[in-house]
């Protein structure tokens, strides 16, 4: 009876005080798991600030031409007729390590802050580290110039006409299939046309992106 009680007591003590070697293995395993989790977190942070950090798509005008030109200015009754179509080819460079899927965009033709023409840019997909050319055809709507006939007349008499093309292309980049970042690529180009030949004398383009 006494021997049985001693054996039971020893078993209880063994359960309450497992071998030191077993405890060390358990602690080691926990430390390894925590270390792996820490390494995983560090790797994710590094990727978030490098590989997976969204970069601005770069837009630039690679070609600008005019067609359908028939400007006419008559006196003494002032009659201004302009039939001008501005053809742009806008290159969009995707600097991300993921494809850039853009929705329908818009391009506006502006004169002294007033919209005088517009066109749509169709949706598409630009591959990772790739680029594409987007055609943009802007027709000047002469009737919309009526609100600023004085300024327009002064420009034409001075031999040059300044117009601005503002392009907006919304889209998003997707990393690993689930990390999504929305980006809006914008470009702003100012063109100076000679009058009456209506040739492009100069152009200045700036681009930016809104994350």
State the chain's mean pLDDT as an integer. 76
Distances in Å between the Cα of 172 and the Cα atoms of 107, 130, 161, 175 are 19, 15, 36, 10
How much is the pTM? 0.64
DSSP 130: -
What does the pLDDT read at residue 31? 81
Give φ, ψ of 203 to 5 degrees. Answer: -150, 140
Confidence grade of residue 188 (pLDDT, cut at 50, 70, 90): confident
Domain spans in the chain, listed from the N-terminal domain onward:
26-55, 58-210
Question: Which architecture characterizes domain 58-210 according to CATH?
Answer: Sandwich (2.60)
Confidence grade of residue 71 (pLDDT, cut at 50, 70, 90): low
């Amino acid at each position: 009876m006494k021997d049985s009680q001693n054996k039971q007591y020893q078993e209880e003590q063994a359960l309450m005080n497992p071998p030191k070697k077993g405890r060390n293995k358990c602690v080691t395993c926990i430390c390894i798991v925590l270390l792996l989790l820490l390494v995983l977190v560090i790797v994710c942070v590094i990727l978030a600030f490098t590989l997976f950090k969204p970069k601005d798509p770069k837009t630039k005008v690679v070609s600008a031409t005019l067609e359908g030109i028939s400007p006419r200015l008559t006196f003494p009754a002032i009659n201004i007729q302009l039939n001008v179509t501005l053809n742009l080819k806008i290159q969009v460079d995707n600097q991300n390590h993921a494809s850039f899927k853009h929705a329908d965009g818009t391009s506006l033709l502006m004169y002294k802050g007033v919209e005088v023409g517009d066109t749509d840019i169709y949706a598409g997909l630009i591959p990772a580290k790739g680029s594409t050319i987007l055609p943009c055809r802007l027709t000047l709507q002469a009737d919309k110039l009526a609100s600023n006939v004085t300024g327009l007349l002064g420009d034409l008499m001075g031999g040059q006409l300044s117009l601005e093309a503002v392009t907006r292309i919304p889209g998003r980049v997707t990393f690993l299939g689930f990390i999504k970042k929305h980006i809006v690529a914008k470009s702003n180009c100012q063109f100076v046309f000679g009058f009456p030949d209506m040739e492009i004398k100069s152009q200045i383009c700036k681009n930016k992106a809104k994350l």
